[in-house]
Structure 1
Amino acid sequence: MAVKITYANTPVSRLHPMTKIMAILMLGLCALVWPDFTLGLVLVIALFVVSFVARIPSDFVKIMFGFGIPVTVMLMFIQGLYSPKNQTVIADFGFAQLGLEGVLYAAKIVMDLLVFLGSFTIMSKTTYTGALVAALTSAGLNAKAGYLILASLNVVPQMQRRMSVIREAQNARGLSESGGLFSRLAAYVPLLGPVVMSSLTDAQERGMTLETRGFGITDVKQTSYVEVRWRTVDKVCNWVLVIMAVIVTAISVGIYIGVIPALTPWAGA
């Protein structure tokens, strides 16, 4: 018997998982095909707004800035100073010159990455993992592949919870995690063994449980414990995403071949 999962009471959380996957693909495609970084920047700002609607702004900001700042600095240094595309010098540091073309190319790469990262973060933070796998299997994905996805997405949170439990148990037995860097590293060594062994045991027991329940049988139709349903808003969102991707792709192709003039001064850089 299927069970209907009740999501958090936000418009984003109530969307079908396949709609969120479609959003990742279509938004990422729009950012990739656009000639410069401007559309990617607009999409990133829109994703920040969506994160507030989904009530995950703090997690979203941490991931976006935690990834975006170091990647931006690295790419701006490499592309801005040493890109072979550089022709327009905007700053001279003596040992190297900062080129406008390299900076714009770096900005384009960063925005593309952030669009994919931001949309995937919103999906992962607002979608129950079981519902995601149920949606994928109902769309035709093999049940074993679905289980691999489910296990892969759950392995890190499960190990974090297990690490927390084992750490508390070790602290109750007198293990100290204070002191310098080497003292802290030495304190984590006793935690690794129980975490790894318990994870392996858990994986073995889960595999045996699945086999005893007929998971490996291929000549019968398998049902899902989790039920996900399409709603009108999901259909509308999918059509909007597809139409937007088609329009953006058509405009981008027109700009590349010269039929449509560049919409921003950075498109030809």
Structure 2
Amino acid sequence: MNQNFILKLHPMTKLYFTLFVIVAVLIIPSYLFAFSSFPVLMIVALFAGSRVFKEFIGIILKALLFLLLLVFLMQLFYYPGETVLGEWGIFKWTAEGLQYGLILTSKILAIGSAFILFFRITEVKDFVKSLEDIGLPPMGAYVVMSTLQIIPEMKRQANTIMEAQKTRGVETEGSMLVRAKAFIPTLTPLILSSIASTEERAITLESRAFSAPVKKTSLHKLSKSTADRMLPVVFLLILVALIVWRVVS
């Protein structure tokens, strides 16, 4: 299994790092500070391994880049301001809109990429187990795990159904219209298979006495290293220093 330092950290340590990044960019109003957090997250992803780095960058490009561009343009053209920098037809952009657009997009990039990195370097089962260890009831832990896994699970089922359609001679690749026509027939079996899998999970949980009013045990154990005990303290001290600097300045 992966043995590098980043992946071996306790899930709560990774969560504390994610929260540290989020709180830090909220404390410091400068968009330069928020934008500078992204290269730091890229370095962390790179140290976590090439696979993690590629997945991290891929999700940023596919899911976050378009959102950032849309938010920036909306703020640039529609945020109220007096200092007009330029005009194009009915659109005009102001210095205030540019400033606010940069601030908003920088914080979205920092917060969104921090969460994306967290789920790329943390196994869902490890994260849920760490929540159980700090007091989350097993039922709540199962709800969290099911919620986090529902989209990847449905994606895998959809890919399986699409492959089955392809073997039957259905055209599933090409233009957007062709893909849409191929995807619509997969909705019914996808929904039915999701319902069936939910029922199977319920039966499996009952057969393992999940709802029994006794203390639950687990074969999956998590342990904390020295780094896991020191890093949260370091994060807290840095946040305190940032707060003091913000108040003084």
TM-score (norm 1): 0.84
Higher helix share: 2
Aligned to 2:219: 225
Aligned to 1:265: none
Aligned to 1:58: 54
Aligned to 2:113: 118
Which of residues 140, 149, 154 is equivalent to 2:135? 140
Report the count of equivalent residues: 247
| 1:216 matched to 2:196 | no
Q: How far is 1:68 from its partner?
A: 4.1
Which of residues 232, 236, 239 is equivalent to 2:230? 236
Q: How far is 1:151 from its partner?
A: 0.9
SS in 2 for 1:251: helix
Aligned to 1:189: 184
- Work out whether residues 131 and 228 of structure 1, in 8 Å CA contact, stay in contact via their aligned partners in 2: yes
Q: 1:74 to 1:162 in 2, by over 3 A?
A: closer
- Work out whether residues 177 and 183 of structure 1, in 8 Å CA contact, stay in contact via their aligned partners in 2: yes
Q: How far is 1:225 from its partner?
A: 2.9
Look up the equivalent residue of 1:197 and give its one-letter code.
L
Q: 1:80 to 1:171 in 2, by over 3 A?
A: closer
Q: 1:65 to 1:186 in 2, by over 3 A?
A: closer
SS in 2 for 1:227: coil
Q: How far is 1:179 from its partner?
A: 5.3
- Work out whether residues 87 and 101 of structure 1, in 8 Å CA contact, stay in contact via their aligned partners in 2: yes
| 1:83 matched to 2:89 | no
Q: Which runs of 5+ in 1 are unaligned?
A: 1-6, 255-259, 261-269
CA distance in 1, matches of 2:176, 2:34: 40
Q: Which runs of 5+ in 2 are unaligned?
A: none
| 1:34 matched to 2:20 | no
CA distance in 2, matches of 1:191, 1:80: 40
TM-score (norm 2): 0.90
Q: Which moved more, 1:60-69 or 1:232-241?
A: 60-69
Which of residues 154, 163, 173 is equivalent to 1:159? 154
Q: Alpha carbon RMSD of aligned pairs, Å?
A: 2.0
Q: Which moved more, 1:23-32 or 1:181-190?
A: 181-190
Look up the equivalent residue of 1:225 and give its one-letter code.
L
- Work out whether residues 64 and 112 of structure 2, in 8 Å CA contact, stay in contact via their aligned partners in 1: no
